[in-house]
Amino acid sequence: MPVDYPREFQGFAITDPKDWDHPKLTSYEPKKFGPHDVDIEVECCGICATELFCLKNQWSSEPLACLSSAYGPKSQVVGHEVVGRVVAVGDDVTLCRKGERVGLGAQCSSCMACPRCHAHNEQYCAKSVATYCSRYEDGYVSQGGYASHVRAHEQFCFPIPAEIESQYVAPLMCGGLTVYSPIKRGIEGLENPHVGVIGIGGLGHMAIMIAKAMGAHVTAFSRSSKKRADAEKMGADAFVATGEQPNWSKDLFDGFDLLVNCASSTTQLDLDAFLSVLKVNKNFISVGLPEMDDKFVLSPLTFMGNGPCVGVSKLGSRQEAIELLQLAATRGFRPWVETIKISEAGVHEGLTRLDAGDVRYRFTLVGFHDFFGT
């Protein structure tokens, strides 16, 4: 492999979930370079709520995986909405070229051989590796994109249309793709589909724009009316403040072909009311992943009125990522982004403000070349 950059990557890492909001600049060894691997010199990286759950270790009862890794760093770098240039490619890479601008989302590897991988469902491959905090077969724990470089399998590095600026591409790589996949799978082939988007944060605001660009009638559901004007600017046809309109579900009976739940917690989510507004046999799909002890509580009786289905959707496929980038390029929608320059202080600011819900609607960390001298 021709290496014209340091063999060690640099990134902002934690070693203890108690210090989740103070990642420190660290050097670490990347995973072994495989024949299908690509090294990306990072230009910018979005901040997804998943970072908070990982850094605080709220999705697992085990200690952080990196602390017991067989080899590789004993610290954890997060970040999975990565945009950058390809600076090295493995011998068997055919999907990317050196010098090309690519995006990488929340998945960096899969087996590429199972029926799921072959059927454009590689996000559900049993050997899937997430871009950070996830174990490769050899024990290395993956390290994310708040970093100088990231190493990933070529399948998960997506070519970016020239017309979209990197800071807007970054949030599409995880958040955008995660909502594009269930919206596409849920409304394809329907005439005048009605889609409800629940929780207008990073994922939710992109879901409004994506569903709209795909021709749906879109209703935004938020807990209060504070985001009404923004949701309408994003393209929502209707807005419901669930915490302020006690009988909202009565008025929306038989209203939806699809509900996409983007809320990061269920504590203020009235699931019974949401299920009641679906048309017969239609889907409530959750992409929101709350902390481990936060559950959906449902009685079978709730389903008797309209026979709805409850499901969850994870990320999206390479094919869907490429479709989404094309949709954004041709239809012109862009995530609402606030940029923050990368540094220890910048990472701290982004994580703590996201944790406090103080974001309209996605942070993208920028200025990586200046900071890392790349």
Q: Which residues bind ligand NDP (CB under 6 A)?
A: 48-50, 53, 106, 174-175, 178, 199-204, 222-223, 227, 262-265, 267-269, 287-290, 313-315, 354, 357
| Residue with smaller CB distance to ligand NDP, 30 or 335 | 335
Nearer to Zn ion, 48 or 200 (CB): 48
Among 174, 218, 259, 262, binds Zn ion (CB under 5 A): 174
* Rounded alpha-carbon distances, angstroms, from residue 366 to 37, 103, 340: 24, 14, 6
Task: Find the binding residues for Zn ion in span 98-117 (CB under 5 A).
Answer: 106
Residue 338: beta bridge partners?
A: 363
50 binds Zn ion (CB under 5 A): yes
With CB cut-offs between 5 and 8 Å by kind, which of ligand NDP, Zn ion, none does residue 209 bind? none
Q: Under rule CB under 5 A, how many of the chain's residues touch Zn ion?
A: 4
| Residue in the shown chain whose Cβ atom is closest to ligand NDP | 201
Give min distance, CB of 179 to Zn ion, in A.
11
Name the residue nearer to ligand NDP (CB basis): 10 or 276.
276
Which residue, 46 or 186, has its beta carbon nearer to Zn ion?
46
Which residues 6+ apart lie within 8 Å of 353 measured at CB? 359, 363
Q: Is residue 269 classed as helix, strand or coil in its secondary structure?
A: coil
Can you say whether the dihedral through the CA atoms of 152, 154, 156, 157 is positive or negative? positive
Q: How far is the CB of 144 from ligand NDP (least distance, A)?
A: 13
107 with 129: CB under 8 angstroms? yes
Closer to ligand NDP at the Cβ: 278 or 287? 287
Read off the amino acid at residue 18: K
Least Cβ distance, residue 174 to Zn ion (angstroms): 3
For residue 324, the minimal CB distance to Zn ion (Å) is 14
3-class state of residue 102 by DSSP: strand
109-117 long-range Cβ contacts below 8 angstroms, 24+ apart: 109/136, 109/142, 109/152, 109/153, 109/155, 109/156, 110/153, 110/155, 112/36, 112/153, 112/155
Report d(CA 45, CA 317) in Å as an integer.
20
* Residue ranges binding Zn ion (CB under 5 A): 48, 50, 106, 174
